[in-house]
Amino acid sequence: MKKRILTGIRPTGNLHLGHYFGAGQTWRNIQDEYDFYLEIADVQALTDNFNDPEKVRKNVYEITKDILSIGIDPEKVHLFIQSKIPEIAELTVFYSNLVTVSRLQRNPTVKTEIAQKKQLFGNNGESITYGFLGYPVSQAADITCFSGEFIPVGDDQLPLIEQCREIVRKFNNIYGETLIEPEPILSNTPRIKGLDGNEKMGKSLGNAIYLVDDEDTIKKKIMGALTDTNKIKKDDPANPDICMVYYYHKLVNDNNSLETICSECKQGKRGCVQCKKELIEKMNKFLDPIREKRKYYDENPEEVNKILDNGTRKAKEEAEKTIKEVKKAMKIDY
Ligand code: TRP
């Protein structure tokens, strides 16, 4: 029997290269080998976007089309919407007894997100809701609801999976062996830097290249990317290791070209403008097949709905099995 994979994504914006190289590419490469559930985590997105439901709704469809456009095959992967599986919300309530508030506050991912919010909104965390603080519990429900054994994610998600493992152990300890402890799967490039050289590419950081960016946008973004600031003139030698243009060349270019680019750059035989132009061309070549698939789904929205309906039906069947076992273990199977 195929092993079970579960992963999820918050529908708060389009997929960017960080998502693609951090996780999406892995999803596509392993879809044949596993029984794969892919959740559009709209309930999780609402934990910090509860006042903007339009944004979440719109992005459910945007993200679904992005996922399909990178070659995720809906015949192999069950794509479903979190809010249509009420069993996940039930599990969240049950698991909330198994985790302390201080443990949630110490979760590194939650901690970073809270720090970012404080920076953005400049208060002392008073806007942090119960729902937001508890989203790792809901994510543990996502994972265990579908008996996810392996979780392919970017490395920012590792603390959330660890939190899930703790909940599973505690549950099994108290109520008897019921849930599966999941393991993360990381890609070779679990974290992608931003155009500005920031360690992380992110929407809120404004440094992302999106899979839906058109040629003009790609040109503008790459032309503005950070290069070695010590290089002033075209024929100054430079250090490719601190240049974002070289960094993205490494993602979308072949090894032969990379060697040439690297040595020319170090010897001062390559101007940044020329190098950026070459990257723009390669990046567009990389994005073209994705754009083509995307166009198909943009033109056939009823197909997207059908894919989500089918995936959600399958997910619901699975969730009903799990909730039965969980309630039995907890002696609430009246
Ligand atoms: N937290 C993930 C994100 O920020 C989304 C997510 C929801 C998820 N449920 C999941 C990831 C379950 C892995 C497993 O995009």
CA of 134 to the centre of ligand 1 (A): 13
β-sheet bridge partners, residue 282:
none
- For the CA of 135, the closest atom of ligand 1 is 1
CA of 212 to the centre of ligand 1 (A): 21
For residue 207, what are the CA distances in angstroms to 6, 192, 193, 197? Answer: 28, 11, 9, 9
| Binned average pLDDT, 10 residues per bin, the chain of 334 residues | 94 96 94 97 96 97 98 97 98 98 94 84 74 97 97 92 98 98 90 94 92 97 96 93 96 93 95 96 98 98 98 98 98 97
Mutating to test ligand 1, I would choose from 7, 12, 151, 203 the residue with most ligand atoms within 8 A of its C-beta, which is 7
Residues 6 or more apart whose CB falls under 8 angstroms from that of 218 comprise: 209, 280, 283, 284, 287
pTM of the model: 0.94
Name the one residue in this structure whose structure tokens are 């579960």. Answer: 6
User: Which residue pairs, CB below 8 angstroms and at least 24 apart, start in 291-297?
Assistant: 291/69, 291/212, 293/68, 293/69, 293/70, 293/71, 294/65, 294/66, 294/68, 294/69, 294/211, 294/212, 297/65, 297/68, 297/69
| Structural domains of the chain in order of their starting residue, each with its CATH number | 4-192+301-329 (3.40.50.620), 215-293 (1.10.240.10)
Please indicate whether residue 46, judged by its CB atom, sits closer than 6 Å to ligand 1: no
Residue 242: per-residue pLDDT:
94
Residue 96: per-residue pLDDT:
98
Mutating to test ligand 1, I would choose from 4, 44, 143 the residue with most ligand atoms within 8 A of its C-beta, which is 44
- End-to-end Cα, the chain, rounded Å: 32
Nearest CA to ligand 1 atom 9: 8
